[in-house]
Chains A and B, each alone.
Chain A
């Protein structure tokens, strides 16, 4: 499903060269739920960005569904992100000027679809995360846990095969975190969605199939 081969990532500024990732090899199979752990600045997010096609590796190969993406142009990358990937962020990143349902519709705007279908899909996704009663609210009117559920609905509305979650519970208290976690587990179990989750929290990591540990950009286990 996801295949990283000898992937390295360097960040260059005028003076310093930082190695964010160093020779990472990673394979995630279909339906797998893995977590990526490590201290701050170890390259977890960089790894997620590379898998999410938001960034390109300095060297090495990234392949999704067996297709290497290094020759893809911007338009193709965007299409792959749109159809195959869903993102969940620690800060939720909801658009505050849009209602809950409009936020969830965003990924569908970049597909050819009627407004009606889009609306139906968004409502279904909100139902899936248990927020069908809050569709007209604005993000600021919701609790953190609710906001993250909206973000999950947005990530799954386009029925992507892969969910990439960057510390989805990092900004939430433990009870809310557990709720979010159970939604993810449910998606993984019932929809066979592949999930890669970056986390600090060993309690959350325990619930996943496999844990990848990074330290200073290197895979330690």
Chain B
């Protein structure tokens, strides 16, 4: 049956080339926009290298400090995170590893009098064991390096190109942010959209010029926690919440802040927490953010859908005599609806295929343009599946109403075509 449908569909599409063209144009333009957006989100959220364990990683990405009068929402200080994470892996076996890292900031170097800006992140040894970086040479710095304040650095390939002309860098020194570091490892570039992993240069936290950061509750740090499995998330969340609560006793400036808000979130949850200013300790409502994405997608798809429905209706009226014949020979309304919907989904899938090729072209142009540093946007199986899902939804949605109208056509009228 389906095969027969498809055969008819192909013939119909070939017969009215202009309509097929405008339908395909609309479908592929719509899907290009949606797939590019999906690829961007995928790069942020999907568990891919180096954030290979993203699906079982929680993070304390932002915290809130509050009193009745004032509120701070933003990155935490090292002091707060250190207090929350201390002995967590031994006391809570569900937590495999923890790491503290600073938000990357720009740092300046001068090479022959020319200013070079690099992204600069401070972190610890565990960072390299939670995230899976691809090392081109050397190795990561260790927890010992961090403890002892060794001036060592891991740099990415682009930085090696800038500083050392692409020659092996391990063992050489790099002057950055007014300090000098010995390069111990070189990793493949990480896209800027990987917010946790991204940087140009990574150095131990303890190389800070002063040690006051060790007590701060407010600063520019975040923490990641690797769970043994996703099933442990609730337990870890409540433990972190309890520890954040307990940390209120140690607020360095209690005359200003009394309470701490925040929690261990997935990356999606963290964005949702920021977007909706969620205060609850335990739940960051990631589903709300998904809802926003879905809503935006729907909003965007309204116009293309109405457009496709209009085109479909026209295509149907054009074929009223065929419908009349089919009805006269006993096809039920349902068969006709089915036929048209299959035809439309088929068309949408062709459009999706074209859209996929165009999206790949748009993404590689975007990567090449350097608009998003080190972006490695690409279509993978996941993005493809999302695109396919969107296309199917689009095809069903825009096909059902016209098909229903078609099935309502009276056979005699349909045979005659519309009167005048």
A residues adjacent to B (C-beta < 8 A)? 93-96, 139-140
B371 on the A face (CB < 8 A): no
Give the docked Cα–Cα distance between A93 and B418 (Å).
11
Give the docked Cα–Cα distance between A139 and B419 (Å).
10
B420 on the A face (CB < 8 A): yes
Question: B385-420 interface mask toward A, CB cutoff 8 Å, 1 = contact, 0 = none?
Answer: 000000000000000000000000000000000111
| Neighbouring B residues of A96 by C-beta, 8 Å | 418-420
A139 to chain B, nearest CB (A): 7
Give the docked Cα–Cα distance between A94 and B420 (Å).
6
A106 to chain B, nearest CB (A): 11
Give the docked Cα–Cα distance between A212 and B310 (Å).
50
A-B residue pairs, 5 tightest by C-beta: A96-B419, A95-B420, A93-B420, A96-B420, A94-B420
Give the docked Cα–Cα distance between A140 and B420 (Å).
11
6 more CB-based (< 8 A) A-B contacts, given A94-B419, A95-B420, A140-B419: A93-B420, A94-B420, A96-B418, A96-B419, A96-B420, A139-B419
Query: Taking CB as reference atom, which chain A residue is nearest B418?
Result: A96
Query: Taking CB as reference atom, which chain A residue is nearest B419?
Result: A96
Query: Taking CB as reference atom, which chain B residue is nearest A96?
Result: B419
B415 to chain A, nearest CB (A): 15
| Neighbouring B residues of A140 by C-beta, 8 Å | 419
| Neighbouring B residues of A94 by C-beta, 8 Å | 419-420
Number of chain B residues whose Cβ lies closer than 8 Å to a Cβ of chain A: 3
A82 to chain B, nearest CB (A): 19
Give the docked Cα–Cα distance between A158 and B270 (Å).
76
| Neighbouring A residues of B420 by C-beta, 8 Å | 93-96
A89 to chain B, nearest CB (A): 10
| Neighbouring A residues of B418 by C-beta, 8 Å | 96
Give the docked Cα–Cα distance between A140 and B410 (Å).
13
Give the docked Cα–Cα distance between A42 and B420 (Å).
26
Give the docked Cα–Cα distance between A93 and B419 (Å).
8
Give the docked Cα–Cα distance between A139 and B420 (Å).
11
Give the docked Cα–Cα distance between A139 and B418 (Å).
13
| Neighbouring A residues of B419 by C-beta, 8 Å | 94, 96, 139-140
B219 to chain A, nearest CB (A): 71
| Neighbouring B residues of A139 by C-beta, 8 Å | 419
A143 to chain B, nearest CB (A): 15
Query: Taking CB as reference atom, which chain B residue is nearest A140?
Result: B419
| Neighbouring B residues of A95 by C-beta, 8 Å | 420
Could you write out 9 A-B pairs with CB less than 8 Å apart? A93-B420, A94-B419, A94-B420, A95-B420, A96-B418, A96-B419, A96-B420, A139-B419, A140-B419
Give the docked Cα–Cα distance between A96 and B419 (Å).
6
A146 to chain B, nearest CB (A): 15
Give the docked Cα–Cα distance between A95 and B419 (Å).
7
Give the docked Cα–Cα distance between A95 and B420 (Å).
5
B409 to chain A, nearest CB (A): 14
Give the docked Cα–Cα distance between A219 and B418 (Å).
37
B405 to chain A, nearest CB (A): 16
A147 to chain B, nearest CB (A): 10
A74 to chain B, nearest CB (A): 22
